[in-house]
Structure 1
């Protein structure tokens, strides 16, 4: 590929930002094709594609990709699973770590926390359903802090805005000032599959398909694992 070609443009949610950055670097090194990735809040990313803003590739949670396919904003045949991620819990670096080994322990930790951070993405929606199921949503409502779109829960933890945070593992790993205390126990874990697809108005659809294929190869799995994610299937 010619290194002087215009960059492939990718829009994604924040959850896959670090994975995509590393995979894009590897793709450029191998093929000489530049890649420009913009990672924003998932709701904002989906809206921009829905409104017709031009990108070559979009990477979002599978349900959001499905909505874009139904609206004709992506090439549905190009959909591929990129990675999947579970939800982790975190506190400020050096802070006391609550037990989170069981569902009961996580419920207790939420009840005991002075403030709880959660996201606008799939992990936040799952957490709200858990709080309702545990019948604690009303009692902790005043202590819930939703991270603004495009802002990680880790940032809220690091600057002291929340005591306990829940978000995709990939968004909490490596954040300065944050200790990841564990993943959600299996009985309440929710795995989000992130998919990529070629946008309907892609400038370079063939090159975009090449990059999507590259991101699903087995030798890309190490990058995903490094950032707390797994291969999609």
Structure 2
């Protein structure tokens, strides 16, 4: 029920965001537009407009995942699959002012952790949907690298006036190429007889780093699993 109410509030707040931002005033206006009692709105969104800004970002992630699953990418190089995923995420950015205001909101010091988490979630959705099976330190480096690419992409897109965001999509291709150059350099260092021992030592040190095991915490107090 709360998810449905949150979706209704999200749709209702979007027309107010260009004028008021993701603010308490916009949140109150959204509830008023729906004829929704304040207590009901605050129960669905305890943090008010902040919760709706988060929901807006996650709605875009969900649209990207759906588009990825509907796309035929089996014949693509993995580099192209990642680039395509980010381009699909760009296509889910349907309201420039809402994104601009959300970027400003999550840039505030008190909200930076939440904003960083959302960017990480986007990267995680990309890798998970593409079938990433890494369970070691690569699980983290893949998502951290892609998070950086996505964060810079959003900033570029905010100033992009090209048709169908063509310049932004070209920007994505360049950033992915940069990442691939880094990976090639790492592979070269592992083969170089001078640097190989240092790379091996690095791998040994990081061998104990594992991807989070969500199943370990699934049945602990404070966690809830949706009924199947």
TM-score by length of 1: 0.26
Normalized per residue, the structure richer in helix is 2
Normalized per residue, the structure richer in strand is 1
Q: Which has the larger radius of gyration?
A: 2
